[in-house]
Amino acid sequence: MSPRKARLVAEHIRGRSVPEARAVLAFTSREAAGVLQKVLQSAVSNAEANHGIAEDQLYVKATYVDGGPVMKRWRARARGRVARIRKRTCHITVQLAERPQAAPAVESAQAEAVEAAPAPKREPARKKTAAASKKKTASKRPAKKKETTA
């Protein structure tokens, strides 16, 4: 499968939790969705076996789809000619990370206090009167009359 087609599906699961990403892939009707499901399952199994992290605590930190080797094939065309067909492959990488723990309540109270601070008051701009805003234009001389010779 081409990297371009796989990237379309990989963008849908980036940043989502693992159960949510599985649901998205289950209802995506593309060939790449099935392949990405297998890669995601492999990454979750590695996280559980190697690091002891439960699936519910994981989210998809990053997904990369890079180009792989390209197989070149030939297709017969008219007048004895051939056309080259490139069968593209790709390398799919899925990085999982543990969800960060909830911040303490003290920090959120400080954030609310900062947001609640009143904005500094500004004085409204003074309106200009009609006489003050009207500029005096420079007086123009009348056009010179042309002299005609008869």
What is the residue-level pLDDT of the chain in tens, covering all 150 positions? 999 999 999 999 999 999 999 999 999 999 999 999 999 999 999 999 999 999 999 999 999 999 999 999 999 999 999 999 999 999 999 999 998 876 555 555 555 655 666 677 777 777 766 665 566 667 778 888 888 776
**Residue 40 dihedral angles phi and psi, to the nearest 5°:** -65, -40
Residue type, 144: K
Architecture of the domain spanning 3-98: Alpha-Beta Complex (3.90)
Residue labelled with tokens 């790709």: 90
Query: In terms of Cα–Cα distance, which of 59, 2, 60, 54 is closest to 30?
Result: 2
**pTM of the full structure:** 0.64
| Contact status, residue 60 vs residue 20, Cβ threshold 8 Å | no
Closest CA to 62 of 37, 90, 99, 95: 95
